């Protein structure tokens, strides 16, 4: 029985190594055929549960696989999934002897975070949420019992999800309703959870309007939004990105979602957003962006080349607009040395193309993004200073 178990274990390890080798070879061949301008952007390796460290919690393994396969997509959904998984990690965590929870837990979370980053690059909102969690851990009273500390941390996570995402979205929807009137023709791009909630709420309030959903391959996220709005009884038109110039002639307002906002007021969102915003601005159509403040980033970005996320180039091969795959002219592109495919996931929209930003703190111009960041940083510094004083007093 023991020999059979050993043979089975060896077989599983061999299979895992073979799978890793195949994945590595595929990534190397893909990386060789990446345009030189974007060679610094790595293609996500994807999650491999069989090769993950034993320190990785099962809940983190699951969402890592879902992130890699884009089953969980969207900044809000990914952030909520990450924080919910970290709640389970904290609940199952046991502090080793000779240390305290506030000092060891960040070390325990590090491999969990690394695994998620390897699955898919972290979004700005996820990074801000994790920094907030680490701050809460560092400010914990070292004399607090582990069970009480874990309960308090889980409560802090719930509060962050509630205040910065769930309630924030409700407030954004309430502000957004002021911008929708009877007879409006609203254009939106891809699928944003907060824009979807706004359109559904406006319809529930009895406002008569039409929606034009602009979409693009390979993700075709707008199909999900189209299905949801049509089921609710909203009149919709579906078009692809190349037709945006044609459909804009009837549009009165453009509502967009956001992946992040840079401190220079630039919008970082799904690739194609910049084109929609620029075309709308050219026709003097208001461009309104719905974005929670936890997605605001302190960095400045001027283009989509220095920092971006690169998707799997093989996704560009499928030209089908249905669930049944259909290979086009790009099939077998890896065997054509002179052909390179680029599948960027995001682009950058300069602030001059955006009319206003709707956040949970109100409607603000893009130039006010650094002001909001500064206010949050002041609060962050005050809390951190108080926590450091508390630690010094405890150590003394």
Local confidence pLDDT in tens for the 396 residues of the chain: 445 554 445 554 454 444 444 444 444 444 556 677 787 887 766 666 555 677 899 999 999 999 999 999 999 999 999 999 999 999 999 999 888 898 999 999 999 999 999 999 999 999 999 999 999 998 888 888 999 999 999 999 999 999 999 999 999 999 999 999 999 999 999 999 999 999 999 999 999 999 999 999 888 999 999 999 999 999 999 999 999 999 999 999 999 999 999 999 999 999 999 999 999 999 999 999 999 999 999 999 999 888 899 888 888 887 777 777 777 788 888 888 888 888 899 999 999 999 999 999 999 999 899 999 988 776 666 655 555 555 444 444
**Whole-number pLDDT of residue 153:** 96
| CATH class of the domain at 180-309+344-371 | alpha beta
Say which DSSP state 283 is in. Answer: T
**Whole-number pLDDT of residue 316:** 84
**Whole-number pLDDT of residue 1:** 47
**Whole-number pLDDT of residue 32:** 53
**Whole-number pLDDT of residue 236:** 97
Q: How far, in Å, CA of 304 to CA of 137, rounded?
A: 34
**Whole-number pLDDT of residue 26:** 46
Query: Which residues 6+ apart lie within 8 Å of 99 measured at CB?
Result: none
Give SS3 for 349: strand
CATH number among 1.20.120, 3.30.420, 3.40.50, 1.10.760, domain 52-169: 1.20.120
**Whole-number pLDDT of residue 376:** 79
- Domains of the chain, by residue range, sit at 52-169, 180-309+344-371
In our burial notation (b when 16+ CB lie closer than 10 A, e otherwise), range 108-119 reads: bbebbbebbbbb
∠ CA 363-352-305, nearest 5°, is 110
Domains 52-169 and 180-309+344-371 share a fold: no
pLDDT digits (tens, 9 = 90+) for 181-223: 999 999 999 999 999 999 999 999 999 999 999 999 888 999 9
Q: How far, in Å, CA of 356 to CA of 255, rounded?
A: 10
**Whole-number pLDDT of residue 36:** 75
CB 339 within 8 A of CB 333: yes
Query: Which residues 6+ apart lie within 8 Å of 210 measured at CB?
Result: 184, 185, 186, 234, 235, 236, 237
- How many CA atoms does the CB half-sphere of 102 hold within 13 Å? 19
User: H or E segment at 148?
Assistant: helix 146-160
Q: How far, in Å, CA of 89 to CA of 211, rounded?
A: 42
Q: How far, in Å, CA of 76 to CA of 5, rounded?
A: 44
């Amino acid at each position: 029985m023991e020999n059979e178990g050993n043979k089975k274990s060896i077989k599983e390890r061999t299979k895992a190594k073979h799978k890793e080798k195949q994945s590595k070879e595929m990534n190397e061949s893909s990386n060789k055929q990446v345009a030189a301008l974007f060679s610094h952007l790595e293609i996500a390796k994807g999650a491999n549960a069989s090769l993950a460290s034993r320190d990785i919690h099962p809940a983190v393994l699951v969402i890592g696989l879902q992130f890699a396969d884009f089953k969980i997509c969207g900044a809000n959904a990914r952030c909520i999934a990450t924080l919910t998984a970290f709640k389970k990690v904290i609940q199952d965590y046991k502090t080793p002897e000779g240390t305290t929870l506030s000092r060891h837990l960040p070390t325990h979370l590090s491999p969990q975070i690394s695994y998620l980053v390897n699955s898919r690059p972290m979004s700005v909102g996820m990074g801000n949420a994790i920094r907030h969690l680490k701050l809460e851990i560092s400010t914990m009273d070292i004399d607090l019992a582990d069970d009480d500390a874990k309960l308090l941390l889980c409560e802090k996570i719930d509060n962050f999800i509630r205040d910065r995402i769930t309630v924030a979205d409700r407030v954004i929807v309430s502000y957004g309703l002021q911008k929708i009137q009877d007879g409006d023709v609203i254009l939106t791009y891809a699928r944003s959870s907060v824009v979807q909630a706004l359109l559904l709420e406006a319809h529930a309030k009895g406002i008569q309007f039409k929606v034009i959903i602009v979409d693009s391959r390979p993700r075709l996220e707008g199909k999900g939004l189209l299905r949801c709005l049509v089921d609710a009884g909203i009149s919709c038109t579906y078009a692809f990105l190349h037709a945006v110039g044609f459909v804009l002639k009837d549009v009165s307002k453009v509502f967009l979602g956001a992946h992040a906002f840079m401190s220079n007021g630039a919008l970082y969102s799904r690739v194609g957003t910049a084109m929609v915003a620029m075309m709308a601005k050219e026709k003097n159509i208001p461009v309104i962006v719905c974005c929670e403040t936890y997605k605001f980033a302190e960095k400045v970005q001027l283009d989509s080349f220095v920092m971006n996320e690169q998707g799997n180039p093989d996704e560009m091969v499928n030209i089908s607009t249905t669930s049944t795959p259909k290979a086009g002219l790009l099939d077998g592109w890896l065997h054509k040395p002179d052909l390179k495919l680029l599948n960027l996931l995001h682009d950058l929209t300069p602030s001059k193309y955006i009319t206003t930003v709707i956040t949970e703190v109100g409607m603000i111009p893009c130039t006010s993004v650094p002001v909001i960041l500064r206010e949050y940083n002041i609060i962050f510094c005050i809390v951190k200073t108080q926590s450091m004083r508390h630690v010094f007093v405890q150590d003394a």
